[in-house]
């Protein structure tokens, strides 16, 4: 049978079908209308093959219907497809299953959304971080001007190290901005500053809180290595991106090849990072000893 001139539509909850078919008995017109018992969604999907036309409609609300059509008497041509037939309890089960699937997809979605906030640290905090790190340049300027007794080299190592990570690795490489490592780097940086800056502020008005002083001179022990390790992870993760995008690649004379990837500079930087960690760790350890030794002497 060949089906031609197919015309299917839905008007006022009534399905209209019209087509011409060419089969064993020659050419025939086929036509029917079905008014549904309850409201159906206005979208009608249909698919026709040489043998049949499949029409798919969805109920407006997924509830059990006592019968399909508004008219009580079933049209003669209408026969159920028993492969898909469901009685009321089957339908209830199906609805329950769908409801459960919906609920579990909502909870997965909200879990994913929560995870997103973890991966979205950069976009939510970058502006604040840029501002703070630009201000942090003063930490290098202050000892130079003799305003504070901070070690110049340790301050330079710390500020330069953080700025390379923030402005170059995270700021310039979009692929890095959604990575979880951003969260860890920012977290370890911030953890110490919550105590260090209030310690300085109180120092300016000649106040000392013992617990705050202890935290300022102790927390760096776990935080500095953790901070440096997270920074190293960020640098390692960015190497491939620099290789691929050729961003900041150094142009070379043609006999040496096209360009030298920035990732090579970063490999050298990785070594400097651990030298920087060692220098600052030693510096902070000395500062701690000086602090507590001088206090003990004062107490004696
Ligand atoms: C040459 C460039 C080479 C580049 C190479 C790059 C390699 C980079 C690798 C770096 C890798 C590490 C990156 C960083 C990671 C992290 O930060 S992880 C998180 C943990 N971090 C920390 O715990 C470090 C915190 N930072 C610091 O402690 C300091 O910034 C410091 C410079 C490292 C150490 O400072 P220090 O010399 O001990 O001095 P101060 O604490 O600053 O104190 C000196 C005295 O001055 C007073 N003072 C200082 N600043 C102020 C201020 N703004 N206002 C008021 N007073 C201040 C301070 O109170 C001290 O006074 P006294 O108490 O009377 O001694």
Asked if residues 163 and 156 have their Cβ atoms less than 8 Å apart, the reply is no
Out of 52-66, 145-159, 252-266, which region has the weakest mean confidence (pLDDT)?
Answer: 52-66
Average pLDDT, integer, range 7-34: 86
Query: Quick one: pLDDT at residue 296?
Result: 61
Taking the CA atoms of the chain, what radius of gyration do you get in angstroms?
36
Of the residues 62, 94, 224, 292, only one is catalytic, namely 224
Active site residue 119: no
Which carries the bigger pLDDT value, residue 253 or residue 87?
253
Indicate if ligand 1 lies below 6 Å from the C-beta of 287.
yes
Query: Quick one: pLDDT at residue 234?
Result: 98
Q: Whose CA is nearest to atom 5 of ligand 1?
A: 157
- Taking 60 as the threshold, does the pLDDT of residue 12 lie above it? yes
**CA–CA separation, 182 and 179 (whole Å):** 6
Share of the chain above pLDDT 70, in %: 92
Average pLDDT, integer, range 205-217: 96
- Taking 60 as the threshold, does the pLDDT of residue 228 lie above it? yes
Asked if residues 37 and 59 have their Cβ atoms less than 8 Å apart, the reply is no
pLDDT confidence bin for 128, thresholds 50/70/90: very high
Mutate to test the pocket of ligand 1, among 139, 140, 148, 222 (most ligand atoms within 8 A of CB): 148
Taking the CA of residue 239 as centre, how many other CA atoms within 13 Å lie in the half-sphere pointing to its CB? 14
Query: Quick one: pLDDT at residue 1?
Result: 62
Out of 87-101, 145-159, 238-252, which region has the weakest mean confidence (pLDDT)?
Answer: 87-101
Query: Quick one: pLDDT at residue 261?
Result: 95
| Ligand 1 centre distance from Cα of residue 155 (Å) | 5
pLDDT confidence bin for 98, thresholds 50/70/90: confident
pLDDT confidence bin for 191, thresholds 50/70/90: very high
Which carries the bigger pLDDT value, residue 6 or residue 94?
6
**CA–CA separation, 269 and 282 (whole Å):** 20
Query: Quick one: pLDDT at residue 161?
Result: 96
Active site residue 231: yes
pLDDT confidence bin for 6, thresholds 50/70/90: confident
Indicate if ligand 1 lies below 6 Å from the C-beta of 149.
yes
Query: Quick one: pLDDT at residue 272?
Result: 96
User: In the chain, where do the E strands start and end?
Assistant: 2-11, 14-23, 26-35, 45-48, 53-56, 250-251, 259-260
**CA–CA separation, 80 and 107 (whole Å):** 37
């Amino acid at each position: 049978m060949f089906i031609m001139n197919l015309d299917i539509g839905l008007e006022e909850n009534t399905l209209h079908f019209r087509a011409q078919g060419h089969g064993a008995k020659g050419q025939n017109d086929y036509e029917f209308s079905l008014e549904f018992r309850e409201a159906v969604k206005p979208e009608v999907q249909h698919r026709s093959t040489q043998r049949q036309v499949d029409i798919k409609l969805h109920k407006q609300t997924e509830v059990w219907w006592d019968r399909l059509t508004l008219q009580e008497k079933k049209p003669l041509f209408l026969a159920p497809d028993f492969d898909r037939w469901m009685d009321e309890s089957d339908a209830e089960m199906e609805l329950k299953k769908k409801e459960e699937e919906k609920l579990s997809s909502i909870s997965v979605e909200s879990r994913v959304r929560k995870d997103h906030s973890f991966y979205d640290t950069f976009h939510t905090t970058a502006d604040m971080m840029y501002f703070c790190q630009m201000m942090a340049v003063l930490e290098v300027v202050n000892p130079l001007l003799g305003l504070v007794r901070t070690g110049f080299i340790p301050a330079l190592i710390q500020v330069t190290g953080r700025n390379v990570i923030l402005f170059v690795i995270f700021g310039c490489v979009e692929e890095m901005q959604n990575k979880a490592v951003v969260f860890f780097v920012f977290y370890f940086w911030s953890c110490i500053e919550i105590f260090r800056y209030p310690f300085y502020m109180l120092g300016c008005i000649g106040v000392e809180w013992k617990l705050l002083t202890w935290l300022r001179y102790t927390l760096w022990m776990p935080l500095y290595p953790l901070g440096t390790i997270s920074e190293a992870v960020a640098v390692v993760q960015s190497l491939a991106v620099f290789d691929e995008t050729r961003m900041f690649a150094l142009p070379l004379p043609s006999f040496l090849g096209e360009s030298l990837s920035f990732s090579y500079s970063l490999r050298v930087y990785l070594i400097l990072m651990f030298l920087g960690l060692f220098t600052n760790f030693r510096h902070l350890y000395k500062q701690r000893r000086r602090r507590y030794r001088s206090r003990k002497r004062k107490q004696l």
